[in-house]
Amino acid sequence: MTVKEIFETMDYGPAPESAADALAWLVDQGARFGHFINGEFTSPADGFDSKNPANGETLATLSQASQDDVDGAVAAARKAQGKWAALGGAGRARYIYAIARLMQKHARLFAVLETLDNGKPIRESRDIDVPLAQRHFYYHAGMAQLMESELPDREALGVCGQIIPWNFPLLMLAWKVAPAIAMGNTVVLKPAEYTSLTALLFADICRQAGLPKGVVNIVTGDGAVGEMIVNADVDKIAFTGSTAVGRKIREATAGSGKALTLELGGKSPYIVFDDADIDSAIEGLVDAIWFNQGQVCCAGSRLLVQEGIADRFHDKLRARMDKLRVGNPLDKCIDVGAIVDPVQLNTISEMVAANTAGKVHQARVDMPEGGCFYPPTLVEGLAPSDALMQEEIFGPVLVSTTFRTPGEAVELANNTRYGLAATVWTENVNLALDIAPKLVAGVVWVNATNLFDAAAGFGGTRESGFGREGGWEGLSAYTKPKTKTKPLEKLIGFAGEGAPVDAVDRTAKLYIGGKQARPDGGYSKAVYGKSGALLGHVGLGNRKDVRNAVEAAAGAKSWSKTTGHLRAQILYYIGENLSARAAEFADRIDAMTGKKSGADEVEASIQRLFTAAAWADKYDGQAHGVPIRGVALAMKEAVGVIGAVCADEAPLLGLVSVMAPAMAMGNRVVLAASETYPLAATDFYQVLDTSDVPAGVVNILTGSHAELAAPMASHLNLDAVWSFSSTDLSAEIEKASAGNLKRTWVNNATAMDWSTDQTRRFLEAGTEVKNIWIPYGE
Amino acid sequence: MESQIAEHTAQLPQVGEPRNPGMELDLDWALGVEANTSAIERRCATLPGRRSVKKDYQAAWLLKAITLIDLTTLSGDDTAGRVRRLCAKARQPVRADLLKALDMGPITTGAVCVYHDMIETAVSALDGSGIPVAAVSTGFPGGLSPFHLRLAEIEESVKASAKEIDIVISRRHVLSGNWQALYDEMKAFREACGDAHVKAILATGELGTLRNVARASLICMMAGADFIKTSTGKESVNATLPVSLVMIRAIRDYHERTGYRVGYKPAGGISKAKDALVYLSLMKDELGDRWLQPDLFRFGASSLLGDIERQLEHHVTGAYSAGYRHALA
């Protein structure tokens, strides 16, 4: 078109970012890549092509890692780890700072390469992915610097295997690598096979930064390589990707003792109340579901609009969609780029095609010819029962429904197996701050969406995974407490044939929903003392008792909403009542264990109750310093309902040490008492009964740990399961927990030192950090 | 000759479009408007990264921007000579050789904007060019002179052949929530303008909040404004992208509800060619192409033209330009 013609039409023309430098870099590398192991690139081997999804052209040939490659990478990481950790935080900070600087110096090369490889608009890689990746390295250089002073009791995990997805190749690398190496770990990272190029450029940056050999190792390949890493001799697996694969990894690592964090899928609600700034809420949707072609785990993909404004909102939304520009990702004037691969494009197309419900609007925009493109799509008027309302599409497809009241909005929002992110639009601060804590999600954005920063943790609940990346809360994913572990042997109780010690028979029952309950199975077992005297009988709980206990705990929801002050008062009261019966409990413990430690154990238990009470109103969240005019409130929320298999060796202290901090944080618990010495726990429910503990908050089961742990671990309405049993149930529990990806804490057959106060660990495990982003300004 | 007039007067909104007749004051609507500052700022901050026009497209867009400029002088030391010079520049805003290189016919600025006393000079200097003269009025910039005198000022300016009247609203009506008074005032101004079209200057830098900007925008349109305009250029904060976004979203809503297109004029502080391109993108994306013509969009600017001329020369020659190579306004 001539200038004169454009003057009339006022069209946007092409505004391509040059690919020349990035393509030249690829040529310089021979357009064939090996792996980055022990500070060097290996020779390219057989593998696969990495393609530009916008035009199908091959960018480079990558190597498929073999078992030897993975072993070599892990060995290099293992060898480097001790020295890297010993270098100290300040020493590590310098390298990480250098990496951040170098990434900044090569920012445009990273951005263009990312767009070529992934298909995301250059605006996004240039203005969002690459700056955020740098920011993570800067931020964690600071965390390395502060580690010794601020985390004196924590140390590195060791070697971390990290597997990242294709939707934010460099950014996910940064989220994984920066905190890991800051805390003194070394890593073996596998980028997604569609998008490995920026990881390889990053490897080159590590070399330029003089990073010690073996600290960062990068191997390329498909899911088979991921499996090799999961099964390798690593101390931790960090995975970002689909819930299906996350579940497999949970099963594969079960019982291995490997730490695990998973950042998985989502179907995040995007709630618009009738008092919202509607135009801004619509613009927010562009950043929610048409950001990165909707291939974003936390994409606001489920629109919930208040009924009164729904028609107008959807009209405006359709008009906005028709203004989106879809096209060449390297064009600086487009909004929506290419879908990462024909396979993904196919998945999206098929899911939308299979839907027959609602009203579909596809943006009336010029679509590029050829390449992997899908038009921005809205499916309006769906019901929660429609598949597209529940299933993650991972494409530029928004689904919507309406609600009547704030309560209904929360109900609809939480009607999902996922719990990654949520967005709330309202001009009413009361409403926003009321709704945000009620949404089941790791991140909530108020009047904004898809805000990220290294200072604020990101991660999910439910089947969106566990662990946080970013912020202080993210560091626990790459550190462990400095404790020496001792093996824990299976503890066998005494046998006997003696006469009962009680003159009148006492019947210990299960304690469910604030009531004593006979075991469903109708079986009991005898408990004998050292001399063979019969101390009493306890019921053998079974899966139905677990079911009943979880139901009671689930029903005691209001406990989580009580104030810390109230929970403290009740915990103190339990301590007070236990103290009044201290001698009796001490005798009981001594009778069961045949030792003289009962008095100390009771005293320590009272201390744990007081400590938990003390923390109940003091385990504060944080206001993170994120780079916006606003705050990110890191709120510590109760995990929910926790099932815990309690220690055998410390019949009262083991139970109280778990129960008290969990209660203090607002959790409800289902406790399997010491299998060997169960009578302290059954005595204890009488203390609970007299201490104003609301029904269902604490439930106590007795019986075989193995029998009770299995239905707990697989129960889909339990949010976490812990085991400190002397029966090593770690593998079974972790494997079965994959069903709803509940949080697990198992002892891997190692002993806890119950005599030292470890309340903080329980507080941490009993809470999840929810980051609520609240931009402000009038 | 007739066709030439039609072409020139097409810069006036009432020619290409039915003129906004206004409507009853609808306070439910106006007061129900929300404007979330952070979200609006985010949209504006990312827009320049989302939209880019290059090469011939950029040249064409910059030429378009020139035709949208209300070339303005509003100084206490304005003289007839100064105004005539400005008008000459309005007639020939770009060097002929540059236009030729771009294969463009002659273009003019959208209008010339002056104080009342300079209308006569400007009208005669622009005679035959078709460029309308706009006059600032109603006790500009403070708008605090006696009400009857403000009306009389409009009438005088219309009588002196100003085709466009840029009025200032009483900020105190907005700040004290006296929306009825704002509506009545605007309606009276509009009536006083008669056939001349009226631009309502909201002085957004003095309205305190974006919500107030949104409300005042709607109420002025309800009272019959042909254009809404950000600022006098004399406030400490003048046209900004967030204020513009709020105002053009109000224009969009007004059009959706009434079918009438109201024009938009950001004024003050837009001095770079690049800024002008961002504003054009904002208009194109939020309101549509129809709002990229002089009857519905103007820049109130004095130094913008100079920067655009330099950019155009750079486009033509490939070398960065110097200010003295282009004729002074």
Rounded to whole angstroms, the maximal C-alpha distance in chain A is 108
Q: Are A535 and A497 in contact (CB under 8 A)?
A: no
**Mutation to test the B interface, candidates A6, A273, A315, most B Cβ within 10 Å:** A6
Q: Lowest-confidence range among A209-218, A709-718, B11-20?
A: B11-20
CA B220, CA B143: separation in Å to the nearest integer?
15
CB contact B46 to A (< 8 Å): yes
CB A553 within 8 A of CB A641: yes
Per-residue pLDDT tens for A11-57? 999 999 999 999 999 999 999 999 999 999 999 999 999 999 999 99
Q: How far apart are CA A759 and CA A752, in angstroms?
A: 12
pLDDT for the residue B12: 61
Tokens of A586: 């001490």
Does the beta carbon of A447 lie under 8 angstroms from any beta carbon of chain B?
yes
Q: Is B100 in the active site?
A: no
Q: With a CB-CB cutoff of 8 Å, which residues 193-232 of chain B face chain A?
A: 209-211
- Hey, which residues does A261 pair with through a beta bridge? A238
Identify whether the C-beta of residue A170 lies closer than 8 Å to the C-beta of residue A129: yes
Q: Kindly list the strands in the beta sheet with B299-301, ordered across the sheet, starting from the edge strand earlier in the chain.
A: B263-265, B227-229, B197-201, B164-168, B133-136, B111-114, B69-72, B299-301
- Percentage of chain A exceeding pLDDT 90: 98
Helix (H, G, I), strand (E, B) or coil at B303: coil
Sign of the four-CA dihedral B127, B132, B135, B138: positive
Q: What is the pLDDT of residue B13?
A: 53
- Residue A109 pLDDT exceeds 60: yes
Q: Residue A11: closest CA among chain B residues belongs to which residue?
A: B57
Compute CA A649 distance to the chain's CA centroid, rounded to the nearest angstrom.
Answer: 32
Distance separating alpha carbons of residues B63 and A749, to the nearest angstrom: 77
Q: What is the DSSP string of A540-606?
A: ---HHHHHHHHHHHHHTTHHHHS-HHHHHHHHHHHHHHHHHTHHHHHHHHHHHHSSS-HHHHHHHHH
Radius of gyration of chain B (CA): 19
Model pLDDT for residues A415-461, shown as the tens digit of each residue = 999 999 999 999 999 999 999 999 999 999 999 999 999 999 999 99
Residue written as token pair 């785990």: A297
Residue B168 pairs in a beta bridge with: B201
B284 contacts A277? CB cut-off 8 A: no
| Residue B15, pLDDT score | 60
pLDDT of residue B8: 42
What is the per-residue pLDDT for B183?
98
Alpha carbon of A381: minimum distance to chain B alpha carbons (Å): 23
Catalytic residue among B166, B226, B275, B307: B166
Task: Using DSSP, state whether A380 is helix, strand or coil.
Answer: strand
Q: Which of A174, A211, A181 is nearest to A89 (CA)?
A: A181
* Helix axes A310-321 and A278-289, enclosed angle (nearest 10): 50
For residue range A605-664, list pLDDT tens digits in order: 999 999 999 999 999 999 999 999 999 999 999 999 999 999 999 999 999 999 999 999
Cis peptide before B141 (omega within 30 of 0): yes
User: Which residues fall within 8 angstroms of residue B205, CB to CB, at 6 or more apart?
Assistant: B231, B235, B236, B237, B238
CB B199 within 8 A of CB B226: yes
- Any idea how long chain A is? 778
3-state helix, strand, coil in chain B (%, to 5): 55, 10, 35
Distance CA A290, CA A337 (A): 9
Is residue A104 exposed (0-12), middle (13-18) or buried (19+ Cβ within 10 Å)? Answer: middle
Q: How far is CA B284 from the centre of its chain?
A: 16
Amino acid at A717: N
Cβ of B57 and A279 within 8 Å?
no
Report whether B83 contacts B114 (CB < 8 A).
Answer: yes
On whether any CB of chain A is under 8 Å from the CB of B52, the answer is: yes
How far does CA A438 lie from the centroid of its chain?
18
Spatial contact of A153 and A88, defined as CB atoms under 8 Å apart: no
Tell me, what's the pLDDT at A66? 98
Q: What is the pLDDT along chain B (329 residues), one digit of tens a residue?
A: 333 433 444 566 546 789 999 999 999 999 999 999 999 999 999 999 999 999 999 999 999 999 999 999 999 999 999 999 999 999 999 999 999 999 999 999 999 999 999 999 999 999 999 999 999 999 999 999 999 999 999 999 999 999 999 999 999 999 999 999 999 999 999 999 999 999 999 999 999 999 999 999 999 999 999 999 999 999 999 999 999 999 999 999 999 999 999 999 999 999 999 999 999 999 999 999 999 999 999 999 989 999 999 999 999 999 999 999 999 98
CB within 8 Å: B50 and A333: yes
Overall average pLDDT of the A96-111 stretch:
98
Per-residue DSSP letter, B193: H
Min Cα–Cα distance to chain B from A325, Å? 10
Query: What is the residue-averaged pLDDT of chain A?
Result: 97
pLDDT single digits (tens) A67-87 = 999 999 999 999 999 999 999
Residue B151: Cβ within 10 Å count: 19
Chain B touched by A131 (CB under 8 Å): no
Give the residue among A288, A290, A308 at the shortest CA–CA distance from A298: A288
In angstroms, the CA B104 to CA B92 distance is 13
Q: Does A433 touch chain B (CB under 8 A)?
A: no
| Long-range CB contact pairs, B252-258, < 8 A, 24+ | B252/B286, B252/B287, B253/B33, B253/B218, B254/B218, B254/B221, B254/B222, B257/B29, B258/B20, B258/B23
Does residue A279 belong to the interface with chain B, where contact is any CB pair within 8 Å?
yes
Interchain CB distance below 8 Å, B61 and A6: yes
Residue pair A696/A647 in contact by the 8 Å Cβ criterion: no
pLDDT of residue A505: 86
Phi-psi region of A338 (alpha: psi -120 to 50; beta: other; left: phi over 0): beta
Is residue B70 annotated as part of the catalytic site, yes or no? Answer: no
| Count of CB pairs separated by less than 8 Å, A with B | 105
**ipTM of the predicted structure?**
0.95
Beta bridge partners of B200: B167, B228
- A197, burial (CB in 10 Å: exposed 0-12, middle 13-18, buried 19+): buried
**Residue A591: how many CB atoms within 10 A of its CB?**
23
Is A13's CB within 8 Å of B54's CB?
yes
State yes or no: is B284 an active-site residue. no
Element holding A217 (H helix, E strand) = strand A216-218
Residues 6+ apart with CB under 8 A from B259: none
- Whether B106 has its CB under 8 Å from any CB of chain A: the answer is no
Residue A254 sits at φ, ψ, to 5 deg, of -55, 130
3-state percent helix, strand, coil for chain A, nearest multiple of 5? 40, 20, 40
Starting at the earlier edge strand, list the strands of the sheet with A720-723. Answer: A515-517, A510-512, A698-701, A668-672, A641-645, A720-723, A743-746
Tokens representing A56 are 């199908």
Per-residue pLDDT of A493-531, as tens digits, reads: 999 988 898 888 888 999 999 999 999 999 999 999 999
CA dist A38 and A32 (Å) reads 19
User: Which residues, 6+ apart, have CB-to-CB distance to A422 below 8 Å?
Assistant: A268, A269, A270, A271, A300, A413, A436, A439, A441, A443, A444, A445
Rounded CA-CA distance A762/A742 in Å is 16
Residue A115 φ/ψ, nearest 5 degrees: -65, -40
SS3 assignment, position A129:
helix
Answer whether B208's CB lies under 8 Å from B171's CB: no
Determine the length of chain B.
329
User: Mean pLDDT over residues A318-334, rounded?
Assistant: 98
